[in-house]
Amino acid sequence: MKAVPKPIVDYSLPVVALVGRPNVGKSTMFNRLTSSHFAIVEDQPGVTRDRRYGNCEYDGRQFRVVDTGGIDFTAEGSIAVGMRRQAEMAIAEADVVLLIVDGQHGLLPDDREIFVKLRRAGKKILLVANKIDGPRHESHVNDMYELGCREIFGVSAAHGRGMPDLLDAILLALPVEEEEAQHVEPPLADFEHDDTALSEDALAAIEQAESAHEEDDGPGDEGPDTVSEADLSKDVIRIALVGRPNAGKSSLVNTLCGEERMLVDSTPGTTRDPIDTPILHGGQRFSLIDTAGIRRRVRVHEPSDRIAMTMAERAIERADVAVLVIDASEGIGEMDARIAGLVADAGRVLLIALNKRDLVPAARMKEIEAELDRKLQFVPWAHRMWCSAHTQKGVLKILDEATRCYRSFASRVKTSALNRFFAGIVEKHPPPLFQGKPIRLYYITQAQTRPPTFVVSVNYTEGMHFSYRRYLQNQLRETFGFVGTPIRLLARAKTK
């Protein structure tokens, strides 16, 4: 038998890391990705025992695959600790991380936590639900959209099902090669809106809050404690209607752009962009994003899901408020959840318009709302309303509701009120210990608006558990009456 020459390891190749709990199928995935004739598994000295490297070549591109899963969990103490180490390795060296979960089991708290950690580190994550061996397992995948990623890859590493889509996505997510750099589609399942991406202004605000805190009394602001009632009526609220093809977007746009509301002037502040449409309702100015695009689309052809997602994404990017239009007579689909995820990810107001109410018998309405609760449980803060572009009932309420939610979106809470709130919370419900050590929360500040973004100063940022963050967010929402807007909460290590 002829010996196969051993290829040289190319360290300049991009790295794709496999991360996940034990038994989710990391080594099966590793073998699948590296099983081409090209594959090599490095066994030379210097490669640590808890990593395995191999090469993969697909569609003319090569990348290295690292299986970080060789960590001995019993020696490490716990799965959580082991996964944290895997994540750290992946963060250190990977260009793309495949977070592999057991698609037959659904998400576990460890999966969620690792997801949040990777995302916070700004890593490109592809969420892979493995063990989807056949159509009967596919429904499990839909439940995972609660994490808010735009795409989940249901695959079977053992049988190869779903691998081409995953490989396509990996190639899209890899760093761009020189010659490709001219034009690339934005990578799918990439989290560009990582919540650590704070503006310069926001960072300056935090610094200021930090020094104010040192002096032990916050900026002296008087007035009402609740969300500030700044005069936002001069703002132009940018609204994007997004949703599946045929949900009724262009019909709604036509109603919203009724003659009595159309603005023909070009007052400063109203958009001049010919693809957007300025309108006026209840004394408030709005700009309907990409109206031309929405109208054109119906006449040409129906876009594929992927194109529809990209268009939605672009519109969301430019909007303050995203109205997710759903054809309620069809129920809530997976794509609706994915679009909702995009909106949450981008940190925009999400309004859910359950359209075609005229086609839904009254007795079905409750069921549809329950389905919505279930499938969009990751955006419990989103407001919903029923409407019908056909009868025009409820359509203008979209604008009223957008105005209301926008106020929360753009509001700032007084520092003094925030500090009082925080002292109460910390006393009433302190965070759980982190590795046996107490978590100290020093102070909180609102660093940004649109969406409201709060920064908590803490001794160990890793100690701010997901569930405690969620708790703080809910308390902020309740106490200060934020409606319809996502709230971001960042933990920041206290600087000396």
Nearest to residue 459, comparing CAs of 473, 446, 440, 477?
440
Q: Please, which residues bridge with residue 242 across strands?
A: 324
Q: Compute the least distance from the CB of residue 387 to ligand GDP, in Å.
A: 7
243 vs 484 by CB, closer to ligand GDP? 243
Q: Are 189 and 376 in contact (CB under 8 A)?
A: no
Choice between 20 and 187, CB closer to ligand GDP:
20
Helices (H) and strands (E) in the chain, counts: 15, 15
Minimum Å distance from CB 289 to ligand GDP? 14
CB of 75 to ligand GDP, least distance (A): 15
Minimal distance, residue 209 CB to ligand GDP, in Å: 43
Nearest one of 81, 440, 386 to 252, comparing CA atoms? 386
Q: Which residue lies nearer to ligand GDP by CB, 242 or 279?
A: 242
The DSSP 8-state label assigned to residue 376 in this structure reads T
List residues binding ligand GDP (CB under 6 A): 20, 22-28, 69, 130-131, 133, 156-158, 243, 245-251, 294, 298, 355-356, 358-359, 388-390
Strand order, beta sheet including 61-67: 52-58, 61-67, 15-19, 96-102, 124-130, 152-154
CB proximity list for 164: less than 8 A, separation 6 or greater = none
Q: Which is nearer to ligand GDP, 154 or 452 (CB)?
A: 154
Nearer to ligand GDP, 386 or 454 (CB): 386
Closer to ligand GDP by CB, 25 or 341: give it.
25
Nearer to ligand GDP, 136 or 272 (CB): 136
Instruction: Give least dist CB 388 to ligand GDP, A.
Output: 4
Contact of 387 with 420, CB cutoff 8 Å: no
Buried/exposed 45-71: b ≥16 CB within 10 Å, e otherwise: eeeeebbbbbbbebeeeebbbbbbbeb
Residues 367, 343: Cα–Cα separation, whole Å:
24
Closer CB to ligand GDP, residue 62 or residue 392?
Answer: 392
Helix (H) or strand (E) holding 166: helix 163-173
**Nearest distance in Å: CB 274, ligand GDP:** 19
3-state secondary structure of 321: strand
The CB-of-44 to ligand GDP minimum distance in angstroms stands at: 22
Q: Count CB-CB contacts under 10 A for residue 114.
A: 25
For residue 40, the minimal CB distance to ligand GDP (Å) is 19
Sign of the C-alpha dihedral, residues 314, 315, 320, 322? Answer: negative
